[in-house]
Amino acid sequence: MLLRLAICGSSVLAGERRPLPPCGRLAWFPLRLVDEHPDLIFDVHNAFVGRDDGYQRSSVRLLIDDIPSFAANSQDREQHLAVRCRLLALVLNEAPASFAATVMGDEQDFMDVVLTLLLTFSTDTATKQTTIPKWLAALMLVAEALLSLSEDPRSITLPKEGDPIVTQEILTGPPYDKARTALFDFSLRLLALPGLPRDELLASLRLLVFMTRDHDLAMQFGIQSVSVAALQQLWLCPRQLQHREFHRHLHRGRKAPPQLLLSSYQL
């Protein structure tokens, strides 16, 4: 009798079982949750920065594909776009190798998407009231991370004694020359906006600190009149940079912990 019950039970369970959806569709569940409850983003972000396997890469690919698709209608999908930008900023901070493997060969195209979306925001100082999009600060962190990732040194093969020396690329990613100039100008214009919120202020400063390691851009920063006004704004608003830990990371050019970068975002 017990044997019959066990056989019947296993047959019922087998009939009720359904195959798991493809890896890429599994990431939809945490995304749908955080779309409705953005404050849970740190609770679900491990679904996108976990073990480097097929599931993680398909989840990252979902974020990469969603950003350009939502960018075409950024006003109506502002909240959803902000969520994906924040998650991608976390991925680039905690699992950059997974992102690099996912987007390999399409780095320049994705940077173009990021830059195009950023430049849809008008930094016209003549505008009396500027509404900052929810995704702006996180997307600027994504742009900074893309620049940083492109400067990682690549592995090279040392020639044996007597072999000819072959010229090899030192850096892993594209130079992003046009993107650097555009991001530099955008950050300066953003700093000139009156009453710039804390998150956008910090994101602009991070980009400028990173890019002014280049001598030419540092010289441009020094001669821009807007730079002086922006620095004056910082001196007049010290509370916006009162977090000593972030200040230390900023001046040392190191990556700050993601919770320090993103936890205060009101998206």
The two tokens of residue 242 are 């009162």
Per-residue pLDDT of the chain (267 residues; tens, 9 = 90+): 444 434 444 454 444 444 444 444 566 777 888 888 888 888 888 878 766 666 777 888 888 999 988 887 777 788 889 999 999 999 999 888 888 888 888 999 999 999 999 999 988 776 665 789 999 999 999 999 999 999 888 787 788 888 888 887 788 888 899 999 999 999 988 988 888 899 999 999 999 999 999 889 988 887 775 555 556 555 555 444 444 444 444 444 444 444 444 443 333
Domain range summary for the chain, segments of one domain joined by +: 21-104, 106-124+131-152+173-257
Q: Is 235 helix (H, G, I), strand (E, B) or coil?
A: helix
Exposed/middle/buried for residue 260 (C-beta within 10 Å: 0-12, 13-18, 19+) = middle
pLDDT score recorded for residue 224: 73
pLDDT score recorded for residue 265: 39
Q: How many CB atoms lie within 10 A of CB 212?
A: 18
38, 82 Cβ separation under 8 angstroms: yes
- Please spell the DSSP secondary structure of 97-160, one letter per residue: HHHHHHHTT-HHHHHHHHHHHHTTS---TT-SS-PPPTTHHHHHHHHHHHHHHHTSBPP-PPPP
pTM comes to 0.74
pLDDT score recorded for residue 49: 79
